[in-house]
Structure 1
């Protein structure tokens, strides 16, 4: 058996499951949804539950399926939630999810120094070419919070 080539990780991409605030969603149900869409496995490398539990998805050595065009060199993290009861984008992270996300991102930055942390929406195309991906250009609102601002609040410099 040939040794697996180590992936070069340049990005840590934050996502939400786009499920209603407070609704418990299992990793198994996320995986089933991804398999139904033709994925080989769950698309994310990590999922953060409502209570802050961090679940492993795909192994970090395996390319994810979470952000088209950026999967080869990224780690995908998703938190359960991201929309209000009417399906509108909302930062629904619990305090436990916020704390777990900060711990996980810091740990991953220790393993992958220099990686950039961004939200899924930040990978939308800059349609007007002004150098900034603005809300009107987002393909989706995921992860439903401003990652750049959040990084500052948890003491992570980019």
Structure 2
């Protein structure tokens, strides 16, 4: 198993209220030249958690940090107009993210939870993940 020291939270950068699936993200990432979906987990608007790339495989979600991180993406992150960043997480997504991150921290207790925006000039995940999950 690879060494994991980061869990990086992302948003799919899709408009509020619209459903997308792991298959959609997989297609988008393949169109960008990735071998498959770059995230390890995707949290749908209904709170269901779906596997992306296996944890044992290096992700493709945060340049310079993929080798030792797990990428978690929630569907949403933009206002309904599809242009402005917005924390669009549903209550179900918030609960699912907390449960998933709690499990990941049990498995990888030394991993820090951060937002993609901590490592890139982006608003992703449209909320301060580092502050929100600092106590996990």
TM bracket (short chain): over 0.9
2:61 counterpart SS class: coil
Are 2:88 and 1:98 equivalent residues in the alignment? Answer: no
Distance, in Å, in 2 between the alignment partners of 1:9 and 1:47 is: 18
Q: 1:103, CA displacement in angstroms?
A: 0.4
Q: 1:36, CA displacement in angstroms?
A: 0.7
For residues 69-120 of structure 1, what are the alpha-carbon distances to aligned partners after superposition, in whole Å with 9 as ceiling and x for unaligned?
0000000000000000221000000000000000000100100011000000
1:22 counterpart SS class: coil
The counterpart of 2:118, out of the listed 112, 119, 122, is: 122
Aligned pairs for 1:38-53 (under 5 A) are: 38-53=33-48
Is contact 2:17-2:80 (8 Å) kept?
no
Q: 1:148, CA displacement in angstroms?
A: 2.7
Larger RCO (CA under 8 A, 6+ residues apart)? 2
Tell me the equivalent position of 1:133.
none
Ranges in structure 2 where 5+ consecutive residues have no aligned partner: none
For residues 15-71 of structure 1, what are the alpha-carbon distances to aligned partners after superposition, in whole Å with 9 as ceiling and x for unaligned?
000000010111111100101111011000000000000000000000000000000
Is contact 2:12-2:75 (8 Å) kept?
yes
Are 2:125 and 1:143 equivalent residues in the alignment? Answer: yes
Aligned residues: 135
Distance, in Å, in 2 between the alignment partners of 1:148 and 1:13 is: 9
The counterpart of 1:13, out of the listed 8, 24, 39, is: 8
What is the TM-score of this pair, normalised by structure 1?
A: 0.83
Q: 1:149, CA displacement in angstroms?
A: 2.8
Ranges in structure 1 where 5+ consecutive residues have no aligned partner: 1-5, 125-138
Q: 1:123, CA displacement in angstroms?
A: 1.1
Kindly report structure 1 stretches of 4+ aligned residues shifted beyond 4 Å: none
